[in-house]
Amino acid sequence: MPAKLSTRPTLRRCAMTSGIGLVLFGAGLPAVVMDGSEADLSRFYRQKVVWSKCDGVEIPKDLQCGKVTVPLDYARPEGATLDLALARYRATGESRGSVLLNFGGPGGAGVSELAAGAKDFMSLTNGYDVVSFDPRGVGRSSPVTCGNNADAVAATDPDADADPRTVLEQLRKAASACAKHSGPVLPHIGTVNAARDLDVMRQAVGDKKLNYLGFSYGSRLGAVYAAQFPRKVGRMVLDGVDTLTEPLTEQGLAGAAGQQTALDDFVDWCVKDIACPFGTDARTAREEVVRLIESLDQDPVPTDFGEDFTGQDLVGAIGQALYSKDLWPSLERAIAALVEDGDTRPLLWFSGGGSGLRTGDGAAHRADGGTDGGLVDQEDVPLDNLPAALMAINCADDPDRPSAERITRDLSRLRDEYEQASPVFGRYRLTEVLMCYGRPKGTDFIRDEVRDLDSPKMLLVGTRGDPATPYRWTVETAERLGDSAVVLDNKGEGHTGYASSKCVHRKVDAFLLYGSLPPDGSSCGPENDGR
């Protein structure tokens, strides 16, 4: 956020995004458990989910909620525990088990997203209970936070006028604030532990093997699960495939460039409408976007949250809307409301607010803002949980921690590279990368061990015009995973393919429901070609 870590939610509506990065915050890799037979984990593998009606406003009546309990620290399973929130739609006919969904992020809350986007997944209820969950540190599952007040996190400004030493000090303060307010879950957050949680969920819903559909970051989670539990892999689909190897700096550059291309496409679309808030000339409109951002950074607009809406907040909102063309009309109207009336509420809609789910079992809150491991009521989820979780998980998944000397030396070059990749998103993306400074070094398990899988075939969907997870990541990840990976080439636009391409939707459903796997390298054409 304007080169700062915001204390309100990242401005996003669609949870199916990949941030930048890759595993385990502040902890080395625990001993990998390949099944649930170990005596010290048996109590977790014996549990069964008790499903009940979900409480909350405008909750679909047929959605059920539940929870599963996992160890806080898998190295000490006799110690503290965490409850993880789950939700499901029952199979409409005879069920062959469950398919678990992860919508991405990292940091996206699966329970509220399943409630809001149910129609995209109802076809899977022809054979499965469709289940999603809030991973540890996310949503109602012991949510991490960096503090819900303006002074909790210092600004971290990587623009050309910022002194590197000042930036480093701000980053240290930001990391300290996140650790202070997040509680005991923070050292145990990350994809390696989330994958182990996933295996506990598999057993708790009664499945011998995991059937799974993961979007964007969810593809990273699925790949890590397959590396840890290859004999437990059922039918697995990874859509919008994340990188397993690129450092955060390279991921940030790829993300900035992809979002800039998507923004250019949005502007070209917008200027054809007389109501476009940037005018009707594409070149001038692109300049107007930059001017609006700069103006808001200099003179932010107050919001109903009691905090100002800045130019970098606008960057975040635009970035989330660009993941799907279906959101472009809403984005156009939201920007118009801001420009014409100073109304930030339509843009705040992109913050992924979900559906206000509660199961009514509450949570015990501590003075430092954390919880005792029980589920948190939806209204008590910290406003900044999504960006706080995104950074915590990405940093936990990444083993690189450049020294202060290296950041000082490289900061000017990085500013130039990110600005060149995107004059709109470069600064925002660089801030996300820098936020790992001051945090413990992440695990090297993903980069070193998630390769050459000895698991059943899994389907990897890559979209050619994906602004968040470039198609080359699908190819590179498939090569890395080995013979288990089967690639479906979606020659379309937007982030992920399942919700936007009927062809992809059909092929994914055919695999998940009937085991019909398309040939490796097969493709889906652009959606308007009728195929």
User: Both 229 and 259 in a single domain?
Assistant: no
For residue 66, list its beta bridge partners.
86
Q: What is the rounded distance in angstroms from the CA atom of residue 293 to the CA atom of residue 263?
A: 14
Q: What percent of the chain has pLDDT over 70?
A: 84
Range of the domain at 337: 248-352
**Any domain includes 131:** yes
CATH of the domain at 200: 3.40.50.1820
**Any domain includes 306:** yes
**Any domain includes 77:** yes
User: Both 199 and 63 in a single domain?
Assistant: yes
C-alpha Rg value of the chain to the nearest Å = 22
User: Both 205 and 262 in a single domain?
Assistant: no
User: 337-349, pLDDT tens digit by residue?
Assistant: 999 999 998 998 7
Q: Establish whether the linkage from the previous residue to 526 is cis, with ω within 30° of 0.
A: no
Residue at which a domain ends, from 336, 352, 368 = 352
Q: How confident is the model at residue 57 (pLDDT cuts 50, 70, 90)?
A: low
pLDDT of 156 reads: 54
**Any domain includes 388:** no
User: Both 215 and 274 in a single domain?
Assistant: no
The mean pLDDT of 130-158, rounded to a whole number, is 77
**Any domain includes 255:** yes
Q: What is the rounded distance in angstroms from the CA atom of residue 531 to the CA atom of residue 526?
A: 8
User: Both 134 and 117 in a single domain?
Assistant: yes
Mean pLDDT of the chain: 85
**Quick check: 512 and 456 in contact, CB under 8 A?**
no
User: 227-264, pLDDT tens digit by residue?
Assistant: 999 999 999 999 999 999 999 999 999 999 999 999 99
Residue at which a domain ends, from 352, 381, 407 = 352
User: 177-232, pLDDT tens digit by residue?
Assistant: 999 999 999 999 999 999 999 999 999 999 999 999 999 999 999 999 999 999 99
The yes-or-no verdict on residue 364 having pLDDT over 60 is no
**Any domain includes 367:** no
The yes-or-no verdict on residue 11 having pLDDT over 80 is no
Q: How confident is the model at residue 356 (pLDDT cuts 50, 70, 90)?
A: very low
- 210-234 burial, b at 16+ Cβ within 10 Å, e below that, comes to bbbbbbbbbbbbbbbbbbbbeebbb
User: Both 299 and 211 in a single domain?
Assistant: no
User: Both 253 and 192 in a single domain?
Assistant: no
Residue at which a domain ends, from 311, 329, 352 = 352
Angstrom distances, CA of residue 468 to CA of 216, 217, 262, 460: 8, 10, 10, 16
User: 403-448, pLDDT tens digit by residue?
Assistant: 999 999 999 999 999 999 999 999 988 988 888 999 999 999 999 9
Q: Residue 9 region, left (φ>0) first, then alpha (ψ -120 to 50), else beta?
A: beta
**Quick check: 70 and 44 in contact, CB under 8 A?**
yes
Q: What is the DSSP letter of 438?
A: T
pLDDT of 504 reads: 97
Angstrom distances, CA of residue 18 to CA of 245, 273, 305, 363: 14, 30, 26, 29
Q: How confident is the model at residue 27 (pLDDT cuts 50, 70, 90)?
A: very low
Q: Domains in the chain: how many in total?
A: 2
**Any domain includes 405:** no
**Any domain includes 7:** no
Residue 84 phi/psi, 5-degree rounding, is: -115, 130
User: Both 136 and 235 in a single domain?
Assistant: yes
Q: How confident is the model at residue 21 (pLDDT cuts 50, 70, 90)?
A: very low
User: Both 457 and 502 in a single domain?
Assistant: yes
User: Both 201 and 234 in a single domain?
Assistant: yes
